């Protein structure tokens, strides 16, 4: 591990001065903002970076407020990296936190003193991390080159910045829409002390370069008089009161403040995806005045309420920093997309403005990642919000004609494989989430699962499952199908495994809704994994249309029929039927032996999502003590409290949600089945305050760095000998109590009656 100056002490000093800041003080937003070089990779691999930004705002905010160290909306470049040494401004960002996607519709604001410079690299100021404070509700830094102390705070759709000019001189504010496509609009109204504009959004993946049908709109207001102002394009800077707007490449604006004396200048920003007028309405609704500290307190209170839903107790303060920083990062996405009045742009490139009938409209679903643990976490903490998110997906499907696969930028994409909006919505239905129509949702899910999109134009645009014709014909995707109309081409075996899982989840919905024929067809398709798990070798393996297996075959190699991994990684991807997988691999002993080798031989790769459930699979073989061992090993080896604290992209909070679940003591191996596999709690006590007002407590008596093994358990005072816990047991409230020790109790939860279920409860 690298040696870093950890800002925990600074965070605590700042936080402890705030009232009721019990939980926010443990969050270090700088975790995951730097590079960790992982074995076999180099420092230029963006997939090995956390891709976190130290943003302020509120959970699932429309806009995040963050320092900018690089001026781009290009793929895989977040606004901020810890290793970069200059700040170019402060951004109203829509970066998908922890991802390798792109920012969009953003705008950057930079204060300057005695120098007007519009180029981001030239205007950037050096800064020291020792003079930088980052919390969920407040960010501050000194811009050394200008003698300016900058502070940020914000809410969902509006933010406020406070710039303290510490020297005499000409004080400037630069405003730049960050359009990599070179199209933007900006306008200055000096009498109102207001700058308005927009940054048009363009797609990536399917539809790359096309307009997404909406823009990031902004209204920026100052509390200081404007003495002069101007705009620039890519070739010139203009000044004077006649130059008030532009629509050219790299458009931006600048204003010169009337005062040239030391003092504070406040800038407040409203944002919207529908119009400048609604950006102004959002600003007035959220930040009607100029009280910076009031907004900061409101943000802090919101974060403390969200973080405080899980109150942990223990003597290890660093573990609390890991935990609450992860819980913070799990609360970014999906983002709020509707205005305070419910307005939002129609999905799938339409310019029509829609209106929510109830709840909030959400977007940016990194669904290949977040169905695994992020949404299951919300299903416990915020089922109403999770229901709104499911409702948002249903609306997208109704407006675009197909349930989306990986909906981002309010557009269709086929960025990743699988059909996991089905998994997310299905899990919500199985767990009785409120706020959306199950029948409407089922109609869309069923279309994805039973129909191949034969319209070539809309298929290329990302509508419908990839390779669906092959999947329906063969019950697997054969190697002869190259899956050309996808961002990830080929990957036939991984697609088959993930479709089989999605079909299983939909079968559970069909069963719940009384659709017997569909259930029978889907539960049969849930076993399609058997068509790509070779029973002779016991590995996931490429298969031809004639049924023959690919030759030669090396299970440890990265190959094009597997997504971002090896056959060894994807062999374990049968979350719906681990008992059946065990049989397909050659029996329990072979399963355990290969699982042991997977971890002991260091084949496990935590930095990517497909393996996140694997440490919990020992429980299905009656050896939950090995799950307890390896979960703790992963926590200690993969998560640090330093800026290089993540070993891979956080991917919209999935890496962090894994940690939240695992430190509490259980994990959703198979979303769509309402249970969680028990691991090993990190904390002596974790109290989950549920939306229904009840509390579920996890006790771990004697828990420590060495006492990681469960000796015995009780649920609500009764002996408990199962290696899983039902969702309804959590939501009903109660206490799950463990006695911990430093040696495995190989008898606890090891009987056949104790094993987690497969293919349904």
Q: Is residue 358 part of a domain?
A: no
pLDDT digits (tens, 9 = 90+) for 114-142: 999 999 999 999 999 999 999 999 999 99
307/310 Cα distance (integer angstroms): 6
Q: Is residue 350 part of a domain?
A: no
| pLDDT less than 50: residues of the chain | 1-19, 235-248
User: Are 303 and 376 members of one domain?
Assistant: no
Helix (H, G, I), strand (E, B) or coil at 407: coil
User: Are 382 and 302 members of one domain?
Assistant: no
Tell me which residue of 373, 377, 396 sits closest to 386, measured CA to CA: 377
User: Are 192 and 259 members of one domain?
Assistant: yes
- Backbone torsions φ then ψ of 403, nearest 5 degrees: -65, 130
Domain containing residue 491: 364-741
Q: Are 124 and 148 in contact (CB under 8 A)?
A: no
Q: Is residue 109 part of a domain?
A: yes
Q: What pLDDT does 351 receive?
A: 84
In order of 8, 66, 148, 223, 263, the CA distances from 164 in angstroms are 25, 17, 5, 13, 6
pLDDT digits (tens, 9 = 90+) for 411-438: 999 899 999 999 999 999 999 999 999 9
User: Are 243 and 389 members of one domain?
Assistant: no
Q: Is residue 20 part of a domain?
A: no
User: Are 265 and 378 members of one domain?
Assistant: no
Q: Which residue has the tokens 């310019």?
A: 351
Q: What pLDDT does 4 receive?
A: 36
Q: What pLDDT does 20 receive?
A: 60
186/177 Cα distance (integer angstroms): 8
Q: Is residue 747 part of a domain?
A: no
Q: What pTM did the predictor assign?
A: 0.95
Q: Is residue 337 part of a domain?
A: no
Q: What is the CATH number of the domain that holds 735?
A: 3.30.2080.10
Q: Which residue has the tokens 């920026």?
A: 220
Q: Is residue 14 part of a domain?
A: no
User: Are 281 and 396 members of one domain?
Assistant: no
Q: What is the CATH number of the domain that holds 280?
A: 2.70.98.10
In order of 145, 522, 529, the CA distances from 504 in angstroms are 59, 6, 11
User: Are 487 and 383 members of one domain?
Assistant: yes
In order of 310, 374, 505, 530, 620, the CA distances from 577 in angstroms are 31, 22, 11, 10, 10
- Backbone torsions φ then ψ of 467, nearest 5 degrees: 60, 30
User: Are 279 and 421 members of one domain?
Assistant: no
User: Are 294 and 434 members of one domain?
Assistant: no
Q: How many domains, in total, are found in the chain? A: 2
Q: Are 708 and 740 in contact (CB under 8 A)?
A: yes
User: Are 247 and 384 members of one domain?
Assistant: no
Reading the block at residue 168, the tokens are: 């005499």
User: Are 574 and 699 members of one domain?
Assistant: yes
Q: Are 508 and 430 in contact (CB under 8 A)?
A: yes
User: Are 291 and 385 members of one domain?
Assistant: no
Q: What pLDDT does 472 receive?
A: 98
> What are residue 154's DSSP bridge partners?
159
377/383 Cα distance (integer angstroms): 9
Q: Is residue 449 part of a domain?
A: yes
692/703 Cα distance (integer angstroms): 29
Q: What pLDDT does 43 receive?
A: 58
Q: What pLDDT does 7 receive?
A: 35
């Amino acid at each position: 591990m690298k040696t870093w100056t950890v800002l925990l002490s600074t965070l605590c000093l700042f936080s402890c001065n705030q009232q009721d800041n019990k939980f926010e003080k443990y969050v270090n937003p700088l975790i995951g903002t730097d590079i960790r070089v992982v074995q076999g990779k180099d420092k230029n691999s963006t997939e090995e970076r956390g891709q976190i930004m130290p943003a302020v705002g509120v959970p699932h905010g429309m806009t995040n407020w963050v320092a900018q160290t690089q001026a781009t909306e290009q793929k895989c470049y977040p606004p901020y990296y810890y290793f970069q040494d200059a700040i170019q401004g402060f951004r109203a960002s829509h970066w998908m936190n922890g991802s390798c996607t792109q920012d969009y519709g953003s705008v950057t604001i930079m204060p300057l003193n005695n120098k007007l410079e519009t180029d981001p690299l030239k205007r950037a100021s050096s800064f020291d991390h020792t003079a930088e404070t980052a919390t969920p509700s407040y960010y501050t830094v000194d811009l050394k080159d200008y003698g300016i102390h900058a502070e940020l705070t914000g809410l969902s759709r509006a933010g406020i910045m406070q710039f303290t000019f510490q020297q005499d001189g000409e004080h400037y504010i630069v405003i730049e829409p960050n359009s990599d496509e070179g199209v933007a609009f900006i306008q200055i109204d000096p009498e109102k002390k207001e700058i308005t504009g927009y940054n048009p959004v363009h797609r990536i993946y399917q539809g790359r370069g096309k307009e997404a049908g909406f823009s990031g709109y902004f209204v920026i207001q100052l509390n200081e008089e404007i003495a002069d102002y101007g705009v620039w394009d890519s070739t010139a800077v203009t000044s004077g009161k006649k130059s008030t707007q532009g629509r050219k490449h790299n458009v931006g604006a600048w204003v010169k403040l009337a005062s040239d004396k030391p003092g504070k200048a406040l800038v407040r920003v409203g944002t919207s995806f529908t119009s400048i007028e609604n950006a102004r309405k959002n600003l007035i609704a959220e930040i009607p005045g100029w009280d910076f500290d009031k907004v900061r307190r409101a943000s802090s209170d919101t974060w403390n309420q969200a973080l405080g839903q899980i109150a942990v107790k223990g003597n290890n303060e660093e573990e609390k920093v890991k935990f609450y920083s992860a819980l913070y990062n799990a609360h970014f996405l999906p983002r709020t997309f509707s205005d305070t009045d419910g307005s939002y742009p129609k999905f799938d490139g339409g310019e029509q403005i829609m209106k929510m009938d109830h709840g909030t409209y959400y977007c940016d679903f990194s669904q290949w990642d977040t169905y695994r643990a992020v949404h299951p976490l919300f299903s416990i903490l915020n089922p109403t919000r999770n229901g709104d998110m499911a409702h948002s997906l249903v609306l997208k499907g109704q407006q675009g004609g197909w349930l989306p696969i990986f909906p981002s930028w309010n557009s269709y994409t086929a960025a990743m494989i699988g059909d996991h909006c089905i998994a997310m919505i299905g899990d919500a239905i199985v767990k009785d989430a409120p706020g959306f129509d199950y029948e409407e949702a089922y109609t869309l899910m069923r279309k994805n699962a039973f129909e191949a999109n034969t319209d070539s134009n809309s298929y290329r645009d990302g509508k419908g499952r990839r390779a669906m014709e092959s999947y329906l014909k063969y019950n697997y995707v054969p190697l002869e199908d190259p899956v050309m109309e996808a961002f990830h081409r080929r990957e036939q075996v991984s697609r088959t495994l993930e479709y089989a899982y999605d079909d299983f989840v939909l079968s559970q919905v069909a069963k719940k809704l009384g659709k017997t024929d569909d259930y029978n067809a889907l539960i049969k398709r849930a076993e399609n994994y058997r068509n790509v798990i070779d029973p002779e070798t016991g590995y996931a393996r490429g298969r031809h249309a004639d049924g023959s297996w690919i030759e030669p075959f090396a299970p440890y190699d990265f190959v094009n029929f597997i997504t971002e991994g090896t056959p060894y990684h994807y062999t374990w991807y049968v979350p719906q039927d681990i008992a059946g997988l065990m049989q397909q691999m050659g029996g329990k002993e072979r399963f355990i032996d290969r699982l042991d080798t997977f971890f002991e031989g260091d084949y496990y790769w935590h930095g990517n999502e497909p393996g996140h459930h694997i440490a919990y699979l020992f429980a299905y073989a009656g050896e939950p003590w090995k799950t307890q061992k390896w979960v703790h090993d992963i926590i200690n080896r993969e998560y640090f409290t330093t800026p290089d604290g993540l070993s891979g992209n956080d991917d919209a909070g999935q890496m962090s949600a894994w940690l939240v679940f695992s430190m509490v003591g259980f994990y959703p191996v198979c979303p769509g089945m309402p249970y969680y596999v028990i691991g090993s709690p990190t904390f002596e006590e974790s109290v989950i305050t549920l939306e229904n007002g009840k509390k579920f407590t996890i006790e771990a008596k004697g828990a420590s760095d060495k006492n990681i093994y469960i000796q015995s358990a009780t649920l609500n005072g009764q002996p408990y000998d199962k290696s899983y816990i039902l969702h309804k047991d959590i939501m009903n409230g109660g206490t799950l109590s463990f006695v911990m020790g430093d040696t495995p109790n190989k008898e606890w939860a090891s009987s056949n009656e104790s094993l987690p279920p497969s293919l349904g409860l």
